[in-house]
Amino acid sequence: MREGGKLGQDGQWLVITESVYIENKGWEHQCGETLEAVVLTPPILDGPEKITVDKIPYCPICEVAPIVKDGQIQRSMN
Ligand SMILES: [Zn+2]
């Protein structure tokens, strides 16, 4: 399994770039599973553009749910 909460080259969530949006269902990953999301309260700042993040999408089949601590996504392989 891959670590969740990764950003792709275009600054989108990597898992979103691998998914398609289906009306009335949500984002479906390439494996066929509907994406889930870690909801953050309060929102955190992340990424090079310091975008405000309040939800982190991930695939419950292919990815480990992202863990957020002290306003940052915890990375196990830095
Ligand atoms: Zn998946």
For residue range 42-78, what is the model confidence (pLDDT) as tens digits?
A: 666 666 666 677 789 999 999 999 988 776 787 765 4
The SS3 assignment for 32 reads: coil
Give the domain ranges of the chain. Answer: 2-73
- Maximal CA-CA distance, the chain: 37
C-alpha dihedral sign at 6, 7, 12, 15: negative
Provide CB contacts within 8 A for 31, sequence distance 6+: 59, 61, 62
For residue 35, the CA-to-ligand 1 centroid distance in Å is 8
pTM (two decimals): 0.78
List the Cα angle 29/1/66 in 5-degree steps.
80
For residue 74, the CA-to-ligand 1 centroid distance in Å is 20
For residue 43, the CA-to-ligand 1 centroid distance in Å is 25
